[in-house]
């Protein structure tokens, strides 16, 4: 496959992939401005390549809580400045939990956003995915923990997803 990287002197574009238990999404950003949300049909290579051709991003990030097609990471690395969000990512908060690797990428993204948009404040961030997550971050930007519970509408979705 040839590299799709295109030099673009216009707006700096970033594709933010969010692969959750129930949906695969992609947010399109120009500079710091959110432009569009896409729901992806699958994590097939062709789907990702079409997005790269259409948006010609300079950057990409992947937050995934599922087993995804790992070739995606290779394609994104070859064609953009790519980062896979994980417990190893340098973030704008500290995690005073025993096993930081147990914090899902989805929760890391929510916590980082709370600290970014509401700095120096105590934050309770509630994530509504296949499960409901509660995340507490104090005004010193320390993630002190949280909880995961099944949603009221589908209590079995959480346990069957393994989260």
Give the dihedral sign, CA 48/50/53/57. negative
Tell me which H or E stretch contains 115. helix 105-117
CATH topology of domain 13-84: Nucleotidyltransferase; domain 5 (3.30.420)
Domain at 94-161, CATH class: alpha beta
Q: Give the pLDDT score at 150.
A: 85
Tell me which H or E stretch contains 123. strand 123-128
- Choosing from 18, 42, 44, 106, the catalytic residue is 106
Q: How many residues does the chain have?
A: 163
Residue ranges, comma separated, of all CATH 3.30.420.40 domains in the chain are 13-84, 94-161
pLDDT digits (tens, 9 = 90+) for 28-86: 999 989 999 999 999 999 999 999 999 999 999 999 999 999 999 999 999 999 999 99
Whether 106 is catalytic is yes
Confidence of residue 132 (pLDDT cuts 50, 70, 90): very high
Across all residues in the chain, what is the average pLDDT? 88
Cα Rg of the chain, angstroms: 17
7 to 13, 16, 117, 119: CA distances (angstroms): 11, 19, 31, 35
In this structure, the dihedral spanned by the alpha carbons of residues 107, 152, 123 and 38, taken in order and rounded to 10 degrees, is 50
pTM assigned to the model: 0.80
Indicate whether 88 pLDDT > 80: yes
């Amino acid at each position: 496959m040839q590299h799709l990287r295109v030099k673009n002197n216009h707006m700096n574009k970033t594709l933010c992939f969010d692969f959750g238990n129930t949906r695969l999404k992609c947010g399109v950003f120009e500079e710091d401005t959110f432009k569009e949300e896409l729901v992806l049909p699958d994590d097939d290579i062709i789907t990702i390549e079409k997005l790269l051709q259409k948006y010609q991003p300079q950057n990409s990030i992947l937050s995934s809580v599922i087993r995804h097609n790992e070739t995606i990471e290779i394609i994104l690395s070859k064609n953009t400045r790519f980062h896979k969000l994980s417990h190893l990512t340098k973030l704008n908060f500290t995690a005073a939990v025993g096993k930081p690797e147990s914090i899902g990428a989805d929760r890391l993204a929510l916590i980082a956003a709370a600290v970014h948009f509401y700095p120096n404040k105590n934050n309770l961030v509630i994530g509504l995915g296949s499960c409901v997550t509660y995340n507490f971050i104090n005004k010193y930007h320390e993630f002190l923990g949280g909880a995961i519970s099944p949603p009221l509408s589908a209590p079995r979705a959480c346990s069957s997803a393994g989260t």
